[in-house]
Amino acid sequence: MTSSLPRPAVHDDDRALPAELRVLLTCGALVVAVLLCRLTGLAASGALLLFVVLTVVSSVGLPWRAAVLVAASAWAVHTGFVVGRFGVLDLSADRLVELALFLGAASVSWLAGRGAHRARGTTTDARHPGEG
């Protein structure tokens, strides 16, 4: 038996993982990246590149606040567990420049994702229209 009620439109955003879950998965990926850096003895510049790429990939399509959270988390994990030991954050000038790099990378990635959504006629997060 078929219903005469109209079916709701399904948008690309409806099939995407919620932003909260994507941030949680990114945090798990950060832990794996720390283990990878430790086990392979990856050089500091290589580890920085790995974490920035992870930030860029994870920030595409996220709401702005979530992208900033990903960038700050990636910087804190990189600074605390790859550059430093035992989660101690170093707020030297070099580390603050790296924070700016992470935030800039996430912002560019967010803007690229936003542009792609606009080109398709969708928003970055329909549940929070004022945020995108």
By C-alpha distance, which of 118, 83, 123 is closest to 102?
83
Task: Count Cα atoms within 13 angstroms, Cβ side, for 18.
Answer: 5
Cβ contact 50:115 at 8 Å: no
**Domain contains 10:** no
**Domain contains 59:** yes
The pTM of the full predicted model, rounded to 2 decimals, is 0.75
Q: Which domain holds residue 102?
A: 18-120
**Domain contains 23:** yes
**Domain contains 6:** no
Interval 26-69: pLDDT, tens: 999 999 999 999 999 999 899 999 999 999 999 998 999 999 99
